Amino acid sequence: MQQLLKKAQRGDAQALEELFFMHEALLYRMAFLYVKNEEDALDVMQEVAYRTFKNIKSLKNVKYFKTWITKITMNCAIDHIRQNGTAISLQSEWLENTKQISETQEKEIILKATVEDLMNVLEVEEKSVVILKYYQEYSFREISELLQLPLGTVKTILYRALKKLREKAKEME
């Protein structure tokens, strides 16, 4: 994998293609969560592939390839939603819900949440944080750097997302 990354950054198109296609399913599923349908998710992925190949030289350290391509996917998905006229509240007013949720409760909430819940209940920034925390397993600090949000804001967004998912799960019981 490291060899592939180094070759890709040196401009080896074959290596870059191989790397990209190793991640395409994961990235597609992320894109789908944002845009909620297959056709738009495919549009997003085409743009992700295009930007990855156009901008590979801007990746300063090959060990961050996955983080870099994850960020491209999120940006493309959000750009796509914007272009199609759906309002996105990137700076929406955070509920001051800093009440801590225990790890046990977190597990329970994520276990009960369905893909439909993730797609339809959560706002864009909430999806981003949930995917990065529980699917890509980034730390809060890494998420804060990736999304360029303060650490406290990332935590608030996550707890708000978990609260929404918990309430949705209760409705279904």
Interface contacts to another protein, rule CB under 8 A: 13, 17, 20-21, 24-26, 28-29, 32-33, 38, 42-43, 45-55, 57-58, 60, 68, 71-72, 75, 83, 106-107, 110-111, 113-115, 118, 130, 134-135, 137
Query: Please, what is the minimum distance in Å from the beta carbon of residue 137 to another protein?
Result: 6
The residue (of 24 and 167) whose beta carbon lies closer to another protein is 24
Alpha-carbon 76 to chain mean position:
11
The residue (of 60 and 170) whose beta carbon lies closer to another protein is 60
In angstroms, the CA 105 to CA 101 distance is 6
Cβ 31 vs Cβ 41: under 8 Å: yes
The residue (of 94 and 134) whose beta carbon lies closer to another protein is 134
The residue (of 61 and 95) whose beta carbon lies closer to another protein is 61
Which is nearest to 24 in space by CA: 49, 4, 1? 49
Query: Please, what is the minimum distance in Å from the beta carbon of residue 153 to another protein?
Result: 18
Q: Could you give the maximum distance between any two Cα atoms of the chain, in Å?
A: 54
Residue 1 has which token pair?
């994998």
Query: Please, what is the minimum distance in Å from the beta carbon of residue 93 to another protein?
Result: 18
Cβ 165 vs Cβ 89: under 8 Å: no
